[in-house]
Amino acid sequence: MKIFVKVKPSSKEEKIEKIDDINFKVQVKEPPEKGKANKTVVRVIAEYFKVAPSRVSLISGFSSRQKIFEINKN
């Protein structure tokens, strides 16, 4: 399953907002430095979908706010 995520790093709180079935907004406290925000986004998405973080892969948008993640639920 692929989802499209708009990330807001350096936020006051961590939260995920579902826009529709495949589009989400994610706010994380971590700054966009050395992949810290990306790791936190993976954790937040994993918690939301109730899967292990190892099942969430960033496939596009490593240094962009617009990202595409692959979630393997099997």
2-17 pLDDT tens trace: 999 999 999 999 999 9
Burial of 11-32, coded b for 16+ CB within 10 Å and e otherwise, reads: eeeeebeeeeeeebebbbebeb
| Number of structural domains found in the chain | 1
Domain ranges, residue 37: 2-71
Residues β-bridged to residue 4: 23, 68
Closest by Cα among 74, 65, 48 to 4: 65
Q: pTM (2 decimals)?
A: 0.93
Distance CA 40, CA 7 (A): 11
27-38 pLDDT tens trace: 999 999 999 999
42-72 pLDDT tens trace: 999 999 999 999 999 999 999 999 999 999 9
CATH number at residue 49: 3.30.1200.10
Q: Are strands 2-8 and 23-27 parallel, antiparallel or unpaired?
A: parallel
